[in-house]
Structure 1
């Protein structure tokens, strides 16, 4: 074989190897779409946080604050966390979310099953914190109204299921459908026993509006880049931890590492809404 032919064969093999690597890369990207979207979301939402700061303190009906009424069972500093999972769980997953945030919905829809599994096996408890950054960025009140409704669900012990229903039925980011209390009450019908006169009154009157605003202020003051923010025992894990992108397998691995030598809490698993 001539040098020219050998070079041609080598080039063909190199092209084949490169093509295979490209196909593998495409498959990895397909399997981790949520992570790819999250990276874009985090970068984009850095600008949103700036807009929040710029809009802070502007007048209007929403800036008229009464006393902050924390929902029943709220925990943590200033009672701003809504806990799901057993108190004795050895690890805590802290999640900051906005019900209008599309990346939050991607995160929840991708990791909901895994998070429930870890909760129901007593390995973690989750502390949810609510923010309203999309309202500040795009206008409207859907982030605030949905967060208030979720707090109303917390009052009757149905936060976890209603939280999942809201993210599973999230409208497009530019559609402020959650700004309508009627829509939030309609979705409450998907959670058994939630759509009651007491819940409706809480939603319609905005019982927890000021509490939600206080939570959003804590988010802005916390120096977070955007939503969702996910911390495992205080360490950021979204969209990556120690150079490893988040995935269902990695989340389980990170929790197992954090819980090494510790006993899981005793819990009675309960089904969650889909």
Structure 2
């Protein structure tokens, strides 16, 4: 092999080696970019997870330390609030029409029901036409965190009825309703609300703290939830749900004008 050929071959080998090095650097550079990209993605994901946990925790505990706002509930002279076991009867004794309302203080649809029809119902109660039987149930008792708010609030509302303050207590709990799946109001907050709506009898706080009516509420719910006359089809077969309203033993369809139809 001549000198010229040897030089040409040497140059070719050098060029090949240079290309290999460049390719290797490119691969290494690409790998580094991938590593950086993956690292950034992991960091971002971790930040989102941590932020989500913090937001969820913060959102869950929005009721902690909160003062439930007392509501102004105006009842006409002669309107009586009376507890009968686990039921609270509100109205004038001479009222000719009666409805039963089955609800849960944690039920979002029950809150919507109150917002839509509370004024119409109260008008007929104040007029002496309608008497209402309230059944406050612990249907969503496991849906608060920690569980138990539905039962605590139902029990407290019965104690408020003993003091003649059921409607004011009831309206405040729906107005300031906790989020389903989050923290409810604790017993101290329920007792504070009682004081704010005008309950002065120490028996109220005792009844709340001891769960005086909890067994009555649970027994009533067990019976109501299995009552065939209260079953409705909510899209997945017959069952009981809140809110449910009955008049003359029949479930009322909650559409516009139903209050007027009931009292007509």
Please state which band the TM-score falls in when normalised by the shorter chain. 0.5 to 0.7
Map of 1:198 onto structure 2: 203
| 3-state SS of paired residue (2:131) | strand
1:214 deviation in Å?
1.3
The reply on whether 1:177 has 2:202 as its aligned counterpart is no
Q: Where in structure 2 are the equivalents of 1:40-59 lying within 5 Å?
A: none
1:195 deviation in Å?
5.0
Aligned CA-pair RMSD: 2.0
Paired residues of 1:94 and 1:233 also in contact (CA < 8 A): no
The reply on whether 1:144 has 2:151 as its aligned counterpart is yes
Paired residues of 2:97 and 2:263 also in contact (CA < 8 A): no
1:252 deviation in Å?
3.9
Paired residues of 2:82 and 2:90 also in contact (CA < 8 A): no
In structure 1, the gaps of 5 or more residues are 1-71, 240-245, 258-274
The reply on whether 1:216 has 2:221 as its aligned counterpart is yes
User: How big is each residue's C-alpha offset from its partner over 1:11-58, in whole Å with a ceiling of 9 and x where there is no partner?
Assistant: xxxxxxxxxxxxxxxxxxxxxxxxxxxxxxxxxxxxxxxxxxxxxxxx
User: How big is each residue's C-alpha offset from its partner over 1:123-148, in whole Å with a ceiling of 9 and x where there is no partner?
Assistant: 11000112111114567000000001
Distance 1:171 1:137, change over 3 A: closer
Map of 2:133 onto structure 1: 127
1:167 deviation in Å?
0.9
Q: Where in structure 2 are the equivalents of 1:95-114 lying within 5 Å?
A: 95-114=101-120
Distance 1:205 1:256, change over 3 A: closer
Distance 1:235 1:93, change over 3 A: same
Paired residues of 1:95 and 1:128 also in contact (CA < 8 A): yes
Map of 2:34 onto structure 1: none
Q: Where in structure 2 are the equivalents of 1:1-274 lying within 5 Å?
A: 73-75=82-84, 79-136=85-142, 140-178=147-185, 180-191=186-197, 193-194=198-199, 196-223=201-228, 224=231, 225-239=240-254, 246-247=255-256, 250-257=257-264
In structure 2, the gaps of 5 or more residues are 1-80, 232-239
Normalising by the residue count of structure 2, what TM-score does the alignment of the two structures yield?
A: 0.61
1:162 deviation in Å?
0.9
The number of aligned residues is: 173
